[in-house]
Amino acid sequence: MPRLRADAGAPLRGFTPSGAKPAHALIVPSGAGPAHAPTRPPDAMIAVGGRVGAWAGLDAQRTSKRRAGQETHRTLNRARGFAAFAAALILLALPAAAETGAPNVKQIYRANCAVCHGAKRLGGIGPALLPQNLRRLGKVKAARVIARGRPETQMPDFGKTLSPRAIDALVAFLTTPPKVKPRWGLSEIRASHRIINDPATLPPRPIYDADPLNLFVVVESGDHHVTILDGDRFTPIARFRSHYALHGGPKFSPKGRFVYFASRDGWISKYDLYGLKMVAEIRAGLNTRNLAISDDGRVVAVANYLPRTLVLLDGRTLAPIKVIPVTNRRGTRSSRVSAVYQAAPRRSFVLALKDLPEIWEMSYEKTPPLRFSSFVHSYEPGMVEGLHAKRFAILRIPLSRPLDDFFFDPGYHNVIGSSREGRRAVVVNLDVRREIATIPLPGLPHLGSGITWRRNGRLVMATPDLKEGAVSVIDMKSWKVIKRIPTLGPGFFLRSHEKSRYAWVDVFFGKNRDAMQVIDKQTLKVVKTLRPAPGKTSAHVEFTRDGRYALVSIWDMDGALVVYDARTLKEVKRIPMKKPAGKYNVYNKITRSEGTSH
């Protein structure tokens, strides 16, 4: 175990090898039910602007009148005590339903769900229960969760108090859009903002003796925790509860000190990797895809499905800066934001839009360069028509169809995009702002997991395929497919390192989901098939800072990180984890390693 610094004055924060909840750990509510209630010390919270936010519900008028600790304590008592009287409440609710022949689903929701998920289903200490948030879960699994609860959480099992008919009615209710369209604008976002540890009180240097740039941030989706792993010793140095269903991959501040998380139900969290403390959090949306941070660390951009907005936050405190509705130029059509990306060499954010045939580029510089933002009569000197230099102004790049999965070339001049329809990718030049090439790609390429390397003096990229068992290798000058490398099945993640001769691809779907295939980057042939846990899904490789070791995730509640020697392909160590969905090396991410996604 890494030794803490003698001057740290603190125990190992949040790490419990047995999986028990640490009494002193800084824990963030994951929001998946009563059991995801936070156990943060009361003095770890600082109200912002006189508002505490929505820890125990999102009614800003109510919560602004109470201290955060009092409201949290009251909500926890209600949530924990509910299991004792749930049966009594439901018995009161069901007689009338029996007479009419249909369960009174609104009364069932109020009695059983509202305390954690909010009266308007927008979430509280539990996630939002809206169709957009439940789509991935599906009706069958949603009914199972209601009946059986969620392991490793305090989401109770209602199968003992609710009939199968009542559960089915509740699922139908939750998967139906509310009559009143949910609102989550600037005032609601601002009300949810919390400073948990004042940035001025954070330690000037790490409180441990591990290399802070060779840390791995491991997202354990099995029980909604995050583990901070020493990438030299392969031992955990911290573990803490996250919000429910983190998504889009954590992002790091420019020097790697801070890491930012986004959850599917809109919570954005900032964590200090030096002091091992949560710094701040805010709810930027109701259904969020991912976040990006500017290369100077000043601005965090959040991509939302619901509402259809891009939200800009202050990188230091997460205070809201601006909410931008995502619409076409005339404002007649809106779009979900599939993802937002940092384009560091361009000092801008680039947005992938789900429902509009456009790419957005937005400069985050305080004084952006002059650019033409629309049609003009002339580009001659002195013809300033159409020029702008406004911060966060939107440059729209028209497309032949919407693209929602992106990959950037190393210089960020070109973006390669595809849609969920698959079968092809489109190359868009961000400088001339138009499509310049089409790449035929059968199946459904997962460009967001693409990587690059040099082969025979030429830059190539490769992408796995979500529908077909193949990895496509593309020449980035001619935009031609060099080879389709056969694999044992469709894959999700492809990873490598600039110091490794191999690329690793999983077989995420199908009967060979336990296989991890290793490809020689020069011969373009599979040289090894590993099965680190037969019968269990293996996925998402990440390398250490120096490229010496490759870490593979076993996606199972009884899962692990399996460490391989990246040269010999031999197993070195196995670290038990609860469904480690992804792990992210600080150095590889902040240096934009060619072998990992950005």
For the chain, residues classed under CATH 1.10.760 are: 34-174
Lowest mean pLDDT among 37-46, 257-266, 524-533: 37-46
- C-alpha pair distances (Å), 190 with each of 98, 267, 371, 494: 44, 12, 32, 38
How confident is the model at residue 375, as a pLDDT? 55
- Sign of the Cα torsion 478, 479, 484, 487 reads positive
- Tell me, what DSSP letter sits at residue 115? H
Residue owning tokens 């954010």: 349
The two three-digit tokens of residue 62, written as one number: 């109510």
Residues sharing a CB contact under 8 Å with residue 453, sequence separation 6 or more, in sequence order = 459, 460, 496, 498, 503, 521, 594, 595
Q: Tell me the pLDDT tens digit for each residue of 154-182.
A: 688 898 889 999 899 898 888 888 888 88
Residue 341 to residue 411: CA distance in whole angstroms: 14
CA angle 395, 413, 214 (to 5 degrees): 110
**Of the listed ranges 46-55, 352-361, 411-420, the one predicted with least confidence:** 46-55
> SS in 3 state form for 411-431?
CCCEEEEECCCCEEEEEEECC
Confidence of residue 61 (pLDDT cuts 50, 70, 90): very low
In angstroms, the CA 387 to CA 552 distance is 49
More confident residue, 110 or 587: 587
AA identity, residue 283: R
Q: Using 50, 70 and 90 to split pLDDT, how confident is the model at 364?
A: very high
Kindly tell me if the per-residue pLDDT of 40 is higher than 90. no
Rounded CA-CA distance 540/449 in Å is 10
Which residue(s) pair with 481 in the sheet? Answer: 474
Whole-angstrom Cα distance, residue 166 to residue 149? 15
Burial class (CB in 10 A: 0-12, 13-18, 19+), 98: exposed
- Structural tokens at position 160: 């003992």
Largest CA distance in the chain: 80
DSSP string, 57-72: ---HHHHTTS-HHHHH
Which residue is it, tokens 């020069």? 522
The pLDDT confidence band at residue 422, using thresholds 50, 70 and 90, is confident
Task: Report residue 356's pLDDT band, with 50, 70 and 90 as the boundaries.
Answer: very high
Task: Say what the pTM is.
Answer: 0.79
E strands, 333-449, in order: 337-343, 348-353, 358-363, 371-372, 387-388, 394-398, 405-408, 414-418, 423-429, 434-441
Range with the poorest average pLDDT among 25-34, 76-85, 321-330: 25-34
249: left (phi over 0), alpha (psi -120 to 50) or beta: left
pLDDT in tens, 204-237: 999 999 999 999 999 999 999 999 999 999 999 9
CATH 2.130.10.10, the chain: domain bounds: 442-598
Residues 6+ apart with CB under 8 A from 382: none
CATH superfamily of 442-598: YVTN repeat-like/Quinoprotein amine dehydrogenase (2.130.10.10)
Kindly report the CA angle at 264 between 593 and 516, in degrees rounded to 5? 45
Question: Crossing angle, helix 105-112 and helix 164-174, to 10 degrees?
Answer: 90
Which DSSP category does 231 fall into? Answer: T
Quote the tokens at residue 476. Answer: 């980035």
**Lowest-confidence region among 45-49, 231-235, 499-503:** 45-49
User: How confident is the model at residue 93, as a pLDDT?
Assistant: 45
Two tokens, residue 5: 């610094």
> Read out DSSP for 192-203?
T-EESS-GGGS-
With 50 as the cut, is the pLDDT of residue 71 above it? Answer: no
Which uninterrupted H or E stretch holds 229?
strand 225-230
Encode burial over 518-530: b for 16+ CB neighbours within 10 A, e otherwise.
bbebeebebeeeb
DSSP state string for 285-327: -SEEEEEEE-TTSSEEEEEEEESSEEEEEETTT--EEEEEE-B
pLDDT tens, position by position, 97-131:
444 567 898 888 888 898 888 888 887 767 788 88
Sole residue written with tokens 């991912």: 290
Facing residues of 53 across strands?
none
- Percentage of residues of the chain with pLDDT beyond 70: 79
3-class SS of residue 82 = helix
Q: Are strands 194-195 and 571-577 parallel, antiparallel or unpaired?
A: unpaired
Percent of the chain with pLDDT over 90: 63
Averaged pLDDT for residues 345-353: 96
- The alpha carbon of 104 is separated from its chain's Cα centroid by a whole number of angstroms, namely 36
CATH topology of domain 34-174: Cytochrome Bc1 Complex; Chain D, domain 2 (1.10.760)
* Adjacency order of strands within the sheet including 451-455: 451-455, 458-464, 470-475, 481-486
Over residues 554-562, the mean pLDDT reads 97
